[in-house]
A and B are shown apart, each in its own frame.
Chain A
Amino acid sequence: QQQVKQSPQSLIVQKGGIPIINCAYENTAFDYFPWYQQFPGKGPALLIAIRPDVSEKKEGRFTISFNKSAKQFSLHIMDSQPGDSATYFCAASYGGSQGNLIFGKGTKLSVKP
């Protein structure tokens, strides 16, 4: 049973567009929701993360929107650039730093010039 469901599997946008990637979770005990960015040939790197006591978090052009009642969270990339082309993974964990991350299946984003 997949505990974190991510969509879409792939996404193509034009430069300047706003791609949105969605994730849904089942376990209400989850208390930490990060997004990781992975470029080809590299390991994932933390992009931005949110805890369930806030509904939105912005860091630069990246925004997480969090809907606790719907058990959903999403990543928005403002003014997307070709350099944002990568695979994005959402994840969830509980227990603060003691919990293991459970990853979604990933979304391959391509930003066309």
Chain B
Amino acid sequence: EADIYQTPRYLVIGTGKKITLECSQTMGHDKMYWYQQDPGMELHLIHYSYGVNSTEKGDLSSESTVSRIRTEHFPLTLESARPSHTSQYLCASSEYGGSGKRNEQFFGPGTRLTVL
């Protein structure tokens, strides 16, 4: 079964703190993504990765950074959290490369971040 995990599910933190949002998938997918979604709003792509040691910036500028040291793991880090970073962060993964591959993205449950 396809699974993608995100921790923590909820995080309330003070301004200036460093945070890391975890994302792991067990599907062996090469491509992974981070989206930012405000309540009731569309998804904005902030980072993606084609595989190990690959990271790219998405359409929405973000002060966060990502790393991809292992295929299954794609953490997102904010060095100094601010109230403007309050949002929901969704991680996703998909197959990549080769003909006939589906572009279906599988999403995790999200991390709801509140910065006070």
Contacts and interface: CB of A to CB of B under 8 A. Distances in A.
Nearest to A94: B103
Interface string A83-94: 000010100010
Interface of B: 4, 31, 33, 40-43, 45, 48, 58-59, 90, 92, 94-99, 101-110
Interface residues of A, number: 24
Contact of A43 (B58, B102, B109): B109
Given A97-B31, A97-B96, A101-B103, 8 more contacts: A41-B109, A42-B109, A44-B43, A87-B40, A97-B95, A98-B96, A100-B58, A100-B59
A87 B42 CA distance: 10
Contacts of B42: 89, 103-106
Contact of A34 (B92, B99, B104, B107): B104
Contact of A98 (B41, B97, B106): B97
